[in-house]
Structure 1
Amino acid sequence: MHPLVLLALSPLLFTPLAHAVDCDNAADQATMNQCAAQQHKAADKELNALYQQITARLTANPDSKKLMVSAQRTWIAFRDAECRFSASGVAGGSAYPLIYGNCITDLTKARVETFKNYLKCQEGDLGCPVPGA
């Protein structure tokens, strides 16, 4: 292979894709922290997709949509504050990203379940704020 091609491809050797992380067998703190971040990213992606579905269903009711947006912003502030508190015992330590990340992921997964329930609302269910599909 031509040396210039190797030089051009060398940055790819240092990307996250070049070094797959085995989260099931993470043995060091840096890897555990990285895995926690990946888990949070996946949960957050699912949450955002469900949020988009909910807000789309609320388009016909701007007041409800406004309440949902406000609730979500408030929930995010709560989640972040709760997890900062939850991880405060290890603040400044190498385990902080893991403890904080796991907390964020757990609370996000719980919110995902709430959103899934909102999306299952049946027509006529007065206790459900999201109209059925």
Structure 2
Amino acid sequence: MRLSKTGLATLILAIPLLANAARSDDCANAQDQATVNECAGKSFTEADKKLNDAYRQIEGRLKDDAATKKLLVGAQRAWVAFRDAECNFQGGPRDMAGSMYPMVVAGCKEAVTDDRLKDLQGYLNCKEGDASCPVPAQ
């Protein structure tokens, strides 16, 4: 079989894509720490995306309430600082943590992010008239 220059270029460009697809399928059966770390990072990224989507929805509902929106921004900034500090603490001193450090920190960030997402989703689903809810019902 003979490949044209275009076919060869396409094949060369497709190899990394196929390798990435195979790696993402390997997360359930990861065989090495590098793959486990990569998968943990991807899992956190997915959780963070869901959190950011919920946050944007809340921002949208607060578009006419600058004071409450400012409180939301402050709370979220403080929460991010807490998340990062807590997960760095859980990971231990980086120079002593070894190859598992990225996995531990990403796993922690995912868990803390999932908890925060539940809080934000709760705000998005408050009942009309709930005085303890800072986000107006839709």
Give the TM-score normalised by the residue count of structure 1: 0.91
Asked if structure 2 preserves the Cα contact closer than 8 Å seen for 1:36 and 1:102, the reply is yes
Q: How does 1:41-52 map to 2 (within 5 A)?
A: 41-52=45-56
Give the TM-score normalised by the residue count of structure 2: 0.88
Asked if structure 1 preserves the Cα contact closer than 8 Å seen for 2:62 and 2:68, the reply is yes
Q: Equivalent residue for 2:22?
A: 19
Q: Equivalent residue for 2:5?
A: 3
- Aligned partner letter, 2:15: L
Q: How does 1:54-93 map to 2 (within 5 A)?
A: 54-88=58-92, 91-93=96-98
Q: Equivalent residue for 1:127?
A: 132
Aligned-residue CA RMSD in angstroms? 1.7
Asked if structure 2 preserves the Cα contact closer than 8 Å seen for 1:12 and 1:18, the reply is no
Q: d(CA) in 2 for partners of 1:43 and 1:105?
A: 6
State, as a whole percentage, how many aligned pairs show the same letter: 43
Alpha-carbon shift at residue 27 of structure 1 (Å)? 2.0
- Aligned partner letter, 2:9: L
Asked if structure 1 preserves the Cα contact closer than 8 Å seen for 2:27 and 2:35, the reply is yes
The structure in which a higher percent of residues are helix is 2
Q: d(CA) in 2 for partners of 1:8 and 1:70?
A: 48
Asked if structure 2 preserves the Cα contact closer than 8 Å seen for 1:119 and 1:132, the reply is yes
Alpha-carbon shift at residue 8 of structure 1 (Å)? 4.8
Aligned length: 133
Q: d(CA) in 2 for partners of 1:116 and 1:8?
A: 44
Deviations 1:75-128 (A, max 9, x none): 001100110011015645100000000000000000110011000111111111
Runs of at least 5 residues in structure 2 that lack an aligned partner in the other structure: none
Asked if structure 1 preserves the Cα contact closer than 8 Å seen for 2:33 and 2:100, the reply is yes
Deviations 1:23-67 (A, max 9, x none): 111121011101101100110010000000001001111100011
Asked if structure 2 preserves the Cα contact closer than 8 Å seen for 1:122 and 1:132, the reply is yes
Runs of at least 5 residues in structure 1 that lack an aligned partner in the other structure: none
